[in-house]
Amino acid sequence: MDARLRRVNKEIADCKNDKTSSIKIEMIDESPFHLKGSFVGPEDTPYAGGKFEVDIVIPESYPFQPVKMKFLTKVYHPNVSSQSGAICLDILKDAWSPVLTLKSTLISLQSLLCSPEPNDPQDAEVAKHYMTSRGSFEQTARYWAQIYAGAPGGDGKAVKQVDDEVAIAGLEKAHVDQFESLGFPRGKVIDVLRRLNYRGANVAQITDDRIVEELLK
Amino acid sequence: MDLGDDFKVSSKGKRKSYEVDYDSLSQSAVEKSMRDDAEHIRGILGVENDTAKLLLRHSEWNKEKLIESYMDTPTKVLVTAGIILPEVDPQSTPTPIRTQTSNSSSSRRPTRSTSKLLSSLSSGSRSSKSSSSSPTNHYSPPKVSKLSKSDEPFVCPICFDDDPKLRTMALSCDHSFCSNCWTNYLASKIRDEGEHYLRCMAEGCALVVPDGFIQSVLIPEPGAPIGDPAEEAENAKVWARFQELLVRHFVGCNPNLKFCPYPSCTNTVSCPSAASKLSLTTLVPIVSCGARGIGGQTLSQSQQSLGLQGKEHLFCFGCPIESDHRPVVCPVAKMWLKKCRDDSETANWIKSNTKECTNCQSTIEKNGGCNHMTCKKCKHEFCWVCMGPWSEHGTAWYSCNRYDEKAGQEARDSQSRSRASLERYLHYYNRWANHEQSAKLSVDLYAKTEKKMEEMQITSALTWIEVQFMKKAVEEVEKCRRTLKWTYAMAYYLAKGNEKELFEDNQRDLEKAVEDLSEILESPIEPENIPNIRQQVTNKTVYVQKRNEIVLEDTANGFLDGRWKWNATVDGFDDPDPSAIAL
C-alpha cells in the first residue's frame, strides 16, 4: 500500500481513537488527502472555549514535505491572516520534520494561540494592535472567538448590531463616533482608524488632522 | 627578450590584451579540489573525512576561519555544524513525538554499550529503538541494523510500517527510521528543494546527515539484494544531483570560480584575475567553459551537416550577461542594457510623437486639426508649432509672428533638449539593435553558406578543405558584429573628445570591412569567378579579423591605461567631468 495513504489513514484512526484529546480530524469527502481538523481554544486565552476549524491539504510528498494548513474559522491573532486564515508557523515551513503528524501540528496551532509571535507576523495590523495595547487586542480576539468560533461570551447577544463592526475592528466606539460625526461614512472611519492602529497609547500620538487627511484621501 | 615564458599563458600562445587568463574545470576537477580541501582539513584537525566535509560546508569553504575557530572551540564548532549533539540536560529538550526522547538523548554518548543499557531501561516506552552491535562513537558512519528479537517490534515513526524485516538506519543521535523513509526524505530534500545541508528527520534534531550516510541510503552496496531498477536509477540520479549541489555550493563560496550559466552544463571556470569588483573596470573577463551546444538538445539538420557542435559556452565572468560583451566593461554594459529595457518602444513612441503641455506637462498627441491646442486636462491653450501660449498669437497665428517670444523659446528649448537626447540614444540603439539582429540571422547565413560550399565543390575543382574559407568568413562576420554591437553601447557613454573620435574611427573601419565581407558572402556565385571570390573572401576575412583585433585591443588597453572618460556616472570609475555629462 502507498506509504502516504497508510500513514494518513493511521493518523486519522489514531485521532478518532483518542477520546481524551480535543483534537479532531474529519474527512471532507472521499479523499483522505483533504481534511478538516478542529480543536478547542486553549484555556486562559481570549480564544478559550471556541471551536477552531482548520483546512488540511496533504501534499503529494507528505510526510517529507509539510502539510498545508489554514484556518477556516476567522481568528484575530498576529500570526494568522484575519482575511484568509493563512498561518505563519515555522513547522509548516522550514522547521517541518517528517515525524510530525497532523495531530501534533494541530496541537502546535493550538499552542500558537497561547503564545503569539508578533515580531514575525502574518497580519501586520493585528500584530500592531497586539504590540500597542494588549488589553484591547485581547478584547477583540475574545469578541472574534465569540462570534466566529462560538466561544461562550457573557454579553455576546447584548452587543448591538451597529457596534459589531467597531468591536471586530478592535476600536473604541467613542473614537469612531467622533469622526463619524464630522460627516464621514462609518465604514471608512473604521477602515482608516484600524489601518492607523488608533488604539491605546497611539491615540495620543495620532493627531485628528492626520486622520481627517487619511479620511479625505 | 621574450617575457612570455615568465607568465602563465593560455594554450593559444601569447595572450592578447583583451583576453583574460582562465581555466575551465569539469565537475570532477572541482570535486577533486573539494576532496583536496577536505583532505587538508582532515589532516590538520584530525577529524574524519565526512566531518571535514561538513565542517567545510558549514564554514562556506573558508579554511582559515574554520581552522582558527576549530582550534579555539572544537566542540562548539562541531555542534553548530550539526556533527555532534550539544551536551544538555536531557529533560530540557522535549521532543513531543518520540516518547523515549530523554533516553535516546542521554544514550547517544559516549558509546553504544551504554546506549544498549539505556535502551533496555526504556523498554517500557511505546516505540522501541534499534540497536547496533558495534561500539562506535558519535562521528560514526551510518548505523544500519536489524532489530534483535528481544526488542519490541520496531514501528517506523514516519510510515508506521512494522514489518519485522524492516531495515532501519539512524545517525549518531539514534533517531531510527526505516530505510525507505530515509530514501524518500533525502530524495525530496535534494531533488525538490535543492538542499545539500540535510538534517535528521526527528523534530528539532540538529544533526546533519553526512555524505557517507546519504550515499549508503541512495546507492545500494555491492552485493545487496537487487531492488526495483527504476527506483535505483532514480536514486542514482538524486545522488548525482547531490554531488552537483555540493559543487555548486563550493563554486558559489569561492570568488575565483563561476559556474557555467548554460543550461545543464556542469563545468566551472576559474578566473582569479576577475575575482574582485575593482578589476572589472580594467578588463572584460569573457571566458568559455570549453563545452559547446546545449546538453540533451539535438542539433538541427543544417547545423549537424555543417559539423557544428553548437555554440561555444561563452559568458562573462564578471556579470550576469550571458554573452561576449567585449570591448565594453561590465558596469557600462549593464547600464546600457538597463537603459534599453527602460526606454522601451512605448517610451520611444511617446517621446517622438507627442509633446508635453507647457503648463501641466501632460503628454499630448496631436491627431489632427489645427495648431491651436487646448490641453484637455488644464485647459491651457498653446500653439503646437512654437509651443508658446496661444494668447500671444492673437488671430494672426499663420505667420507665427511671436516665434521669438521668450515663453515659446523656453518651451521649445526644453522640448528640443528632450528630443535631442532621444535622438542621440536612438542613433546608438538602432545600430546596436541592427547588429544584434544581423548576428541572430547568422544561422541563416550559415545555412546559405553551406549551400554555397556544396555548390563550389560541384562547380569547381576545389575540395572540401579548400572551401572552408567560406565558413571561416561567416564565423568571423558573426564575431565582429558582436564586437560592433557593443561598441555602440560604449560610444553612447563615451565623453566627447579625441579619444572618442579615435574610438569611432576604429569602429567605422571595422564596420565598413564587415559590411564589405558580408556583401560578398551574400552575392551569387558564378563558376568562372570562384577563384576570384575565394581570393577576395580570404583577403577580406584576414582584414576584418585584423580590424576586430585593433578595436578590441585598443579598447582593452584604454581600460588598462584609464584612458576612457564617460559622460555619465559609471560604477567603479571616477565621476565624469561636469562639462562632459551628456543630455
Q: Supply B496's cell numbers.
A: 566627447
Give the minimum alpha-carbon distance from B189 to chain A in angstroms, rounded to a whole number. 8
Spatial contact of B286 and B315, defined as CB atoms under 8 Å apart: yes
Q: Supply B365's cell numbers.
A: 498627441
Between B14 and A215, the higher pLDDT residue: A215
Q: Identify the structural domains of chain B with CATH numbers, from first to last.
A: 357-403 (no CATH), 416-583 (1.20.120.1750)
Q: Which of A61, A65, A98 sits opposite B158 (nearest CB)?
A: A98
Task: Please give the pLDDT value at position B127.
Answer: 37
Give exposure, B167-187, as e/b (b: 16+ Cβ within 10 Å). Answer: ebbbbbbbbbbbbbbbbbbbb
State the best of A9, A62, A65, A97 to mutate against chain B, taking most chain B CBs within 10 Å: A97
Spatial contact of A145 and A41, defined as CB atoms under 8 Å apart: yes
Q: Which of B160, B180, B203 sits opposite A97 (nearest CB)?
A: B203
| Interface confidence (ipTM) of the complex | 0.79
Q: Which of A65, A98, A101 sits opposite B181 (nearest CB)?
A: A98
Contacts of A107 in chain B (CB under 8 A): 96
A75-A77-A78-A82 Cα dihedral, nearest 10 degrees: 20
Q: Count the residues in chain B.
A: 583
Classify residue A154 by burial, with Cβ atoms within 10 Å: 0-12, 13-18, 19+: exposed
For the beta carbon of residue B278, count every other beta carbon within 10 angstroms: 8
- Single-letter amino acid, residue B575: D
Which residues lie closer than 8 Å to B421 by C-beta, 6 or more apart? Answer: B582, B583
Q: Do A104 and B161 touch (CB under 8 A)?
A: no
Query: Quick one: CA dihedral B174, B178, B183, B188, positive or negative?
Result: negative
Residues of A with a known catalytic role: 88
Our separate counts of H helices and E strands in chain B read 18, 12
Q: Which of A3, A91, A101 sits opposite B180 (nearest CB)?
A: A3
Give the minimum alpha-carbon distance from A9 to chain B in angstroms, rounded to a whole number. 10
Contacts of A6 in chain B (CB under 8 A): 159-161
Contacts of B189 in chain A (CB under 8 A): 64
Task: Please give the pLDDT value at position B147.
Answer: 45
- CA nearest neighbour of A195 among A175, A169, A159, A158: A169
Task: Please give the pLDDT value at position B151.
Answer: 57
Which residues lie closer than 8 Å to B66 by C-beta, 6 or more apart? Answer: B41, B55, B56, B59, B77
Domain spans, chain A: 3-114, 124-216
Which residues lie closer than 8 Å to B348 by C-beta, 6 or more apart? Answer: B422, B426
State the best of A67, A89, A90, A99 to mutate against chain B, taking most chain B CBs within 10 Å: A99
Task: Please give the pLDDT value at position A120.
Answer: 81
Q: Supply B219's cell numbers.
A: 546507492
If interface means Cβ-Cβ distance under 8 Å, which residues of chain B face chain A? Answer: 96-98, 157-161, 175, 177, 180-181, 184-185, 188-189, 192, 201-205
Query: Quick one: CA dihedral A176, A182, A184, A188, positive or negative?
Result: negative
**How is B126-182 classified by DSSP, letter by letter?**
SS-----SS---TTPPPEEEPPPTTSPPP--TTT----TT--EEE-TT---EEHHHH
Specify the 3-state DSSP secondary structure of A55: strand
Q: What gap in Å lies between CA A149 and CA A22, rounded to an integer?
A: 15
pLDDT digits (tens, 9 = 90+) for A144-153: 998 888 888 7
Residues 60-119 of A with CB under 8 A from B: 61, 63-65, 91, 97-101, 104, 107
Contacts of A97 in chain B (CB under 8 A): 201-205
Task: Please give the pLDDT value at position B129.
Answer: 37
Q: What percent of chain A has pLDDT over 90?
A: 29
Give the minimum alpha-carbon distance from A23 to chain B in angstroms, rounded to a whole number. 15
| Architecture field, domain A3-114 | Roll (3.10)
Task: Please give the pLDDT value at position B510.
Answer: 93
Is residue A56 predicted with pLDDT exceeding 60? Answer: yes
Q: Do A65 and B201 touch (CB under 8 A)?
A: no
Is residue A85 predicted with pLDDT exceeding 70? Answer: yes
**How is B311-350 classified by DSSP, letter by letter?**
-EEEEESSSS--S--TTS-HHHHHHHHHHHHHS-HHHHHH
Exactly one of B370, B375, B378, B386 is catalytic; name it.
B370
Q: Do B159 and A3 touch (CB under 8 A)?
A: yes
Residue pLDDT tens, chain B, 583 long: 444 344 443 444 567 788 888 999 998 999 999 999 999 999 999 999 999 999 999 999 999 999 999 999 999 999 999 999 887 655 544 444 333 333 333 333 333 333 333 333 333 333 333 333 333 334 444 555 544 444 567 888 888 888 888 888 899 888 999 888 999 999 999 998 888 889 999 888 889 999 999 998 888 777 666 677 888 888 999 999 999 999 999 999 998 999 888 887 888 999 988 888 888 888 889 888 888 765 544 444 444 444 444 677 888 998 888 778 888 999 899 888 888 877 655 666 666 677 777 777 777 777 666 667 778 778 788 777 777 777 766 554 444 554 455 656 666 676 677 677 777 888 888 888 888 888 778 777 778 888 878 887 887 777 778 778 888 888 888 889 989 999 999 999 999 889 999 999 999 999 999 988 888 888 777 777 778 888 889 999 999 999 999 999 999 999 888 889 898 888 888 888 777 776 5
Q: Supply B297's cell numbers.
A: 538538445
**How is A18-47 classified by DSSP, letter by letter?**
--SSS-EEEESSS-TTEEEEEEEPPTTSTT
Q: Do A10 and B160 touch (CB under 8 A)?
A: yes
